[in-house]
Amino acid sequence: MSERIRQLIEDLGRTETHLHHRDCLLTWEQSDADLKALLLATEIFEELYRANCDARLFRGGLAVSLFRDKSTRTRFSFASAASLLGLSLMDLDETKTQVAHGETVRETAAMISFLTEAIGIRDDLFIGEGHEYMVEVASSLDEAYEQGVLPQRPAVVNLQCDRDHPTQSLADLMHLQKTFGSLEALKGKKLAMTWAYSPSYGKPLSVPQGIVNLMTRFGMNVVLAHPEGYDLMPDTAARAEQQAEGSGGSFELVHSMEEAFADADVVYPKSWAPFHVMEKRTRLLRAGQGDKMDQLEKEAVANNARFKQWECTEELMATTRQGEGLYMHCLPADITGVSCEEGEVAASVFDRYRTATYHEAEHKPYVMAAMILLSRFSNPARVLLRALERGAERRLSS
């Protein structure tokens, strides 16, 4: 196993990245080499874990998390990444702190970072807010580092914003790579990213946006499907087309789940809120008209109900490539008859792919560790090699 790890570290050493002192906030702003390096580092951390190697790169220091939305799996993924790297997790709970008391982002970013190596942020509830907030934090950290206020420039990890969900989409890409054998093998494969019915409302757009923008880049033929009116952010399609051009893949938008599923190698049926609804929501909130949110929600849920037939059924799965298309989901899925009356996916379909979706999720802590590594170290390959060569066990063996 050690041989395989050395090989991966060598590959990483040959990959020229520019992520040092920068952050992977949106995958489409990163170079191909940066993405390749992130995937390699993810795999190295996974192999080190399985080989029972102590992969801690730090002896103390904080990993700060800030969640502006409820979360289980992302919260635990980030905590796991922190522990893996030897960092102490510290949650910035906005209800317990003075952030709400009018402190500027700039000041808070510096104040919490004197001994901080990474800051993970989830801010996905309001269109036009999440990414902007992360950029503001990142540039505050740049400034504080340049002025010598901070002895290090902490990594900012996007744990989901309004535009992208890079730790999810990269975990998904790892899953595809493992399932099909290599990144190369993804070329020409058809991936259907489709809307699906859910009784709930206001699910973020960042997963579908992240998927169509990332997978087109690896030569996949990506079909985005949703009912009329369930648009993603306006620039999504144009960018996905551009990504596809460079990679030999393709991007297509259709309004039929059937069309998307036909002969698909991979299907990703998942609900999201229409962009115009999310925008209206943000406007109401900014105008202090939170009371009108209920009305908006009622309308949105009622509109969703017109599309209950957008469900990932056995019939639809049978139309995928040889009836064996890979079902993917970022979890939790709305499973018909299990977590809701009518939902995104039939229970029997989900059951068959449950273990696969768990494996898909398993990559996330390591993707986060990889993001921290590449942002915090100028020579990540050498650091990993040193961690490997010190030969310390993660778990004492008998």
**Interface of this chain with its own copies, residues 177 to 206, rule: CB under 8 A:** none
Applying CB under 8 A, does 391 fall inside the site for its own copies? Answer: no
Residue 134, phi then psi, degrees to nearest 5:
-65, -40
Distance CA 228, CA 215 (A): 23
Site mask for its own copies (CB under 8 A), range 316-345, x = bound: ---------------xx-----xxx-----
Q: Which listed residue (6, 20, 71, 282) binds its own copies by CB under 8 A? A: 71
Residue 64, phi then psi, degrees to nearest 5:
-95, 135
Distance CA 171, CA 107 (A): 33
Applying CB under 8 A, does 306 fall inside the site for its own copies? Answer: no
Closest to its own copies by CB, 254 or 331? 331
Q: Answer for the pair 154, 61: CB distance below 8 angstroms, yes or no.
A: no
Give the number of residues written for the chain. Answer: 398
- Per DSSP bridges, beta strands 88-91 and 62-67 are parallel
Applying CB under 8 A, does 86 fall inside the site for its own copies? Answer: yes
Applying CB under 8 A, does 282 fall inside the site for its own copies? Answer: no
Closest to its own copies by CB, 289 or 379? 379
Binding to its own copies in span 112-141, by CB under 8 A: 112, 114-117
- Describe the strand order of the beta sheet including 155-161 as a list of residue ranges: 88-91, 62-67, 116-123, 155-161
Taking the complex as a whole, the smallest distance from the CB of residue 333 to its own copies amounts, in Å, to 9
Q: Answer for the pair 326, 359: CB distance below 8 angstroms, yes or no.
A: no
Choose one: 213-221, 253-261, 266-274, 353-361; the region binding its own copies (CB under 8 A). Answer: 353-361
Applying CB under 8 A, does 1 fall inside the site for its own copies? Answer: no
Tally Cβ neighbours within 10 Å of residue 234: 8
Taking the complex as a whole, the smallest distance from the CB of residue 176 to its own copies amounts, in Å, to 18
Q: Which listed residue (7, 31, 98, 289) binds its own copies by CB under 8 A? A: 98
Q: Which listed residue (37, 41, 110, 233) binds its own copies by CB under 8 A? A: 110
Q: Answer for the pair 282, 129: CB distance below 8 angstroms, yes or no.
A: yes
Applying CB under 8 A, does 105 fall inside the site for its own copies? Answer: no
Choose one: 4-12, 56-64, 215-223, 276-284; the region binding its own copies (CB under 8 A). Answer: 56-64
CA distances from 44 to 92, 170, 186 (A): 30, 14, 21
Q: Which tokens belong to 44?
A: 């190295």
Binding to its own copies in span 367-386, by CB under 8 A: 377-380, 382-383, 386
Q: Which tokens belong to 31?
A: 């170079």
Distance CA 104, CA 107 (A): 5
Applying CB under 8 A, does 287 fall inside the site for its own copies? Answer: no
Binding to its own copies in span 221-280, by CB under 8 A: none
Applying CB under 8 A, does 51 fall inside the site for its own copies? Answer: no
Distance CA 252, CA 221 (A): 8
Taking the complex as a whole, the smallest distance from the CB of residue 394 to its own copies amounts, in Å, to 5
CA distances from 299 to 35, 292, 382 (A): 40, 11, 55
Applying CB under 8 A, does 92 fall inside the site for its own copies? Answer: yes
Closest to its own copies by CB, 162 or 334? 334
Applying CB under 8 A, does 347 fall inside the site for its own copies? Answer: no
Q: Answer for the pair 338, 274: CB distance below 8 angstroms, yes or no.
A: no
Closest to its own copies by CB, 53 or 277? 53
Applying CB under 8 A, does 361 fall inside the site for its own copies? Answer: yes
